[in-house]
Structure 1
């Protein structure tokens, strides 16, 4: 089998020696081409060439969730086509690796490589659904290019946290869970004067459009868990699954007491129980909906901060891609 390995050399948890060992292990079983990324978007470009060339049967992403997202967007540049597109495989090398862990893969790169080779020998794969977000017609974001995401997107508070973390990483800080928690606190304090709900969620319902107004944040999940704190999974929308469309967790209030209560619920969440309460909006298996804000808000997909947006239209696409597991 001819395969392309896309390597992020700055991945948080894999050094050069580990990457060399993994490449050697994969090359022993595969006819392997290797691309080491050199710029933002390089993984996407390499995966797109693999998808359009017709000779690559498997694309392996070695890196974190950002690398995986780029590879997925390259594979799906011309849309889903299960029979025509290469399969995807993931070797986790980032700090959190939500997509890989949600698939049930080991969080250690060496163990994950062994699991990948076993899956290839056994012909083990699954088809996963993905999310897609695009600019909303009739808004200033109408022309924004569409973007696929594998596990989550965020509009408002959590995207602001992601943006703060990226700023700290650009200043040389390591991506740690302590860094994330500090930025959560700073984002909360920074939004003290902006906690009145400005987001509206609109979705089709029985031939009409149902709206939910005055949301202060919205988290869109394609799978569960939403993220990890160390080895602890955090479930924003426990019912979310790669086999369904998209789930949403939204809040209508972010003042100190509700924020503390829902933060505690997230930390204590399980695969059966997520945040609940009168300020919580939880929606399951949405195929299409739009989030629109009265003012520009931070926006992120798969942990990649995309700046400020006033709107975003989401589509849940079932059976979008084949993944080796």
Structure 2
């Protein structure tokens, strides 16, 4: 099998030694080509070339969730076709690695490599659904092209946290869970829409939900991890169905304390609950629209400000080796 290993050397837990060990382990079973990313978006370009060439059967991402997202978007540049396009495998090299862990992979490079080799030997794979987000037709963001995400997207508060973390990392800070907690507190203090949100959730055939202050879109569960603790914003979310949405209508101190505690104690059976929480399951299409521009993120990658985003849940969009 011909495979392309895409390595992000700037990922949090990726090193030259990690790359060399992984390359040596995979080269015995695969006809392997190794490519190291050199700029933001490079993994997407490499995966797109691999898909267009028609010879690569597998693309392996060594890096964090951002690297995986770029690889997926490169492969699906012309749309999903899992029976024709190369499969995807992931070796976690980031700080959180939500996608890999949600697939059930170990959060350790050596163990994950062993699991990948076992899956390849057994020819084991599965088809998973993905989310697609694009600018809403007729809105100011209508020209924004569609982009795929693997595990989550956020419009509003959580995207603002992601943006703050990215700025801190650009200043040389290391990506840690403590950094995320600090930036979440700073985002809360500076949040202008805590008591009355500006987001409207519109689902075809249903009454719109107005005045949301926070909106999280999940393609799987958990939503994220704090260390080894999984956090479930939408416990029913799954790679085998469409998209789930969590919305909060208030971010007052009391509400954040209550819902934050619920998140920290969440489980596959129990997520957020309360009069200010809105949860919707298995949505194929919906729109989030804000009266004011809000931060937007996908798979932990801050994408700037948006007023309106349309989401589509696409089942069986990607073939992954697990």
3-state SS, counterpart of residue 182 of structure 1: helix
Q: CA deviation at 1:317?
A: 0.2
Aligned equivalents of 2:135, 2:194: Cα separation in 1: 24
CA contact (8 A) 2:61 2:91 kept: yes
CA RMSD of aligned residues (A): 0.8
1:46, distance to aligned residue in structure 2 (A): 0.4
Corresponding residue for 2:92?
Answer: 92
Q: CA deviation at 1:16?
A: 1.0
Task: Find the residue that maps to 2:208 and give its secondary structure.
Answer: strand
Q: CA deviation at 1:19?
A: 1.3
13-22 or 279-288: bigger deviation: 13-22
| Superposed displacement of residue 210, structure 1 | 2.7
Cα deviation, residue 196, structure 1 = 1.3
> 1:159 and 1:193, CA in 2 relative to 1: closer, same or farther beyond 3 A?
closer
Q: How many residues align?
A: 322
* Kept after mapping to 1: 8 A contact 2:194/2:252: no
Q: Which residue of 2 aligns with 1:263?
A: 260
Within 5 Å, which residues of 2 pair with 1:1-325? 1-192=1-192, 194-205=194-205, 210-325=207-322
CA offsets per residue over residues 253-304 of structure 1, 9 Å max, x none?
A: 1111011100110000001100100000000000000000000000000000
CA–CA separation in structure 1 for the residues paired with 2:19 and 2:3: 16
Moved more, 236-245 or 8-17: 8-17
Gaps of 5+ in 1: none
Q: Deviations over 1:111-155 (max 9, x none)?
A: 101100000000111100000000001111000011000000000
Contact 2:8 2:14 in 1 (8 A): no
TM-score, normalised with respect to structure 2: 0.99
| Residue aligned with 1:210, SS | coil
Gaps of 5+ in 2: none
Tell me by how many angstroms 1:194 deviates.
Answer: 4.9
d(CA) in 1 for partners of 2:317, 2:24? 30
The SS at the match of 1:204 is: coil
- TM-score where L is the length of structure 1: 0.98
* In 1: Cα distance, 2:133 partner to 2:141 partner: 11
